[in-house]
Structure 1
Amino acid sequence: MTTLQRDPYDTHDAPGSPGGPVTLDRRDGPYGEVVLRRRGTGDGAVHEIIANGCFLMDTSDGRSERVLVDAALAALPADRAEPAVLIGGLGVGFSLARAAEEPRWGRITVVEREPAVIGWHRAGPLGGISARALADPRTEIVEGDLLGILGHAHASPAARYDALCLDIDNGPDWTVTESNDGLYSPAGLAACRERLTPGGVLAVWSARPSARFEQALRNAGFEGVRTEEIAVARGVPDVVHLGQRAA
């Protein structure tokens, strides 16, 4: 007799009101608890990632995550051939999927510190967004802490990037964990600058504008500092902060 194994992400029989939030997975990760939830069913279902009780992102609208990648590419010198991009944070996969849709990118490296998030993409419901990008030969997923990777890798050509697209917090003024503050400090921004090729671009996603962070980018030696706004349904716009290493 064959015993059918139930898909661990199949929650059709989960209790609760129709369309209400359903917890699909809950894990204790290296930086605390991470939770994957679903709201709604069928084609209208929205998946959410919660870290230590703090809402991070969902699959309802990926415009600003796509702008993060598009703006970085647009800011690069026009003659840059097959630029390499490092995406900080896999999240729900919108930034990675956008990068893989663009044939001009060369290497696409994604750094994600939560094993659970990587698993939700490789063998879970978030694969609907990222499966094609994960199969792209340009894509590499690196499990680890972004600041540690930026600060400790040797400065070989393979360890440098034409663009750094960072989306690991709700913004530089609203970090997920206290340790992430170091990424936006003078030392952290210096590490980002050193990992960029001349003329390379740093793009940082934020849930709200930060004049303080704009000044921090200038103080760290970035040129052409500016902020692109992306309107949202309610509240202040999402933004992408941009700065460029001197050519």
Structure 2
Amino acid sequence: MLPRETIATADIPDGETLTLVSHGRDFVIMLGRDELMGTRMQFSEEQLAVLTLAELDAQAPRILIGGYGMGFTYRAALAGLPEKGTVTVAEVVPEILEWAEGPLAHLTGDSLQDRRGNVVICDVAALIDDANDGTSAKYDAILLDVDNGPDGIVRDANYRIYSKTGLGKARDALKPGGILAVWSAAPDHRFTMRLKESGFDVEVREVRARPNNKGPRHTIWFARKTRA
């Protein structure tokens, strides 16, 4: 069995420590003993962007992504984004970008230089608040992959995102017909109900972690803001 080698570590603000490890040709970001993401199972994170963009009819969509991670969702969003669209990523751990430009540069490619994209070191909730305060334009879609799901919280501050208050702020930060898409390692019926109670039309999809219908089943909520 191939050993795992620690490449780097990074502290989450008000949270635990992330560890980037290599396992043969693969890389994994760990939180304690739990795998948050890895290069062997990235398909569902890519589908978070692919499936959301397929539901949008905006010619120049404005996308907000919570969490850069290994950049799977970000790169998939850029790949499917119309020429005049934009993608902003909020990432709270600065070292994540150092890893993207260092040991994970072969994954990153030139995506961080794409003029349609922008990675900001901040809490995604702050950018959602800006859209509500009128200091930022509304979004066509908000994609959240900051945790292992509504019950798999990486940092305590993220509980706000999944609360009725946080979901209401996300809804108000969307344009009419906009989509809040949330990735999770597991289903959560209570979260589905919370989305509906927060004024969204909700579709829940199950997506495999790997293509060709392989790997664990992950859950993505697609919550659409109803048009006025």
Partner amino acid, structure 2, of 1:25:
A
- Written as runs of structure 1 = structure 2, the 5 A alignment for 1:63-212 is 63-76=43-56, 78=57, 80-104=58-82, 106-122=85-101, 124-153=102-131, 155-156=133-134, 158-212=136-190
- Mapped partners of 1:32, 1:183: distance in 2: 18
TM-score by length of 2: 0.90
Q: Whose relative contact order is higher, 1 or 2, with alpha carbons under 8 Å and at least 6 apart?
A: 2
- In structure 2, how many angstroms separate the alpha carbons of the residues matched to 1:103 and 1:208? 28
Q: Is the 8 A contact 1:29 1:116 kept in 2?
A: no
Q: Once the 2 structures are TM-superposed, how far is the Cα of residue 154 of structure 1 from its aligned partner?
A: 5.3
Structure-1 separation of matches of 2:49 and 2:93: 21
Alpha-carbon distance in structure 1 between the residues aligned to 2:220 and 2:149: 9
Secondary structure, aligned partner of 1:151: helix
Work out the number of aligned pairs and report it: 221
**Which stretch shows the higher mean deviation, 210-219 or 140-149?**
140-149
Specify the alignment match of 1:55 in structure 2.
35
Secondary structure at 2:166 match in 1: helix
Q: Does 1:227 align with 2:197?
A: no
Amino acid across the alignment from 1:27: A
Paired with 1:83 and 1:222, the residues of 2 have a C-alpha distance of 19
- Mind listing any 5+ residue stretches in structure 2 that lack a counterpart? none
Partner SS for 1:231: strand
Q: How far apart, CA to CA, are the structure 1 residues paired with 2:121 and 2:63?
A: 16
User: For the Cα contact (< 8 Å) 2:177–2:225, is it kept in 1?
Assistant: yes
Q: Which residue of 1 aligns with 2:11?
A: 28
Residue 87 of structure 1: CA displacement? 0.9
Would you say the 8 A contact 1:198–1:246 is kept in 2?
Answer: yes
* Contact preservation (8 Å) 2:167, 2:198: yes
Within-5 A mapping of 1:33-44 = 33-40=17-24
Alignment-mate amino acid for residue 245 of structure 1:
K
Superposed CA deviations along residues 195-244 of structure 1, whole A, max 9, x for unmatched, are 11111001000101111111111000012x01111134455x10111111
Which runs of 5 or more residues in structure 1 are unaligned? Answer: 1-17
Q: Secondary structure at the match of 2:169?
A: helix
Checking the alignment, whether the CA contact within 8 Å between 1:93 and 1:126 is kept in structure 2 is no
C-alpha distance in 1 between matches for 2:12 and 2:162: 23
Counterpart in the other structure of 1:46: 26
Q: Distance in 2 between matches of 1:69 and 1:184?
A: 19
| Greater Rg by CA | 1
What amino acid does structure 2 have at the position aligned with 1:82? A
Is the contact between residue 131 and residue 138 of structure 2 (CA under 8 Å) also seen in structure 1?
Answer: no
C-alpha distance in structure 2 between counterparts of 1:210 and 1:191, whole Å: 21
Report if aligned partners of 1:97, 1:129 keep a CA contact under 8 Å in 2. Answer: no
Taking structure 1 as the reference length, what is the TM-score of the superposition?
A: 0.83
One-letter amino acid of the counterpart of residue 24, structure 1: I
Q: How big is the shift at 1:103?
A: 3.7
Counterpart of 1:10 in structure 2 is none
CA distance in 1, matches of 2:193, 2:35: 27
**Partners of 1:214 and 1:85 in 2: how far apart?**
22
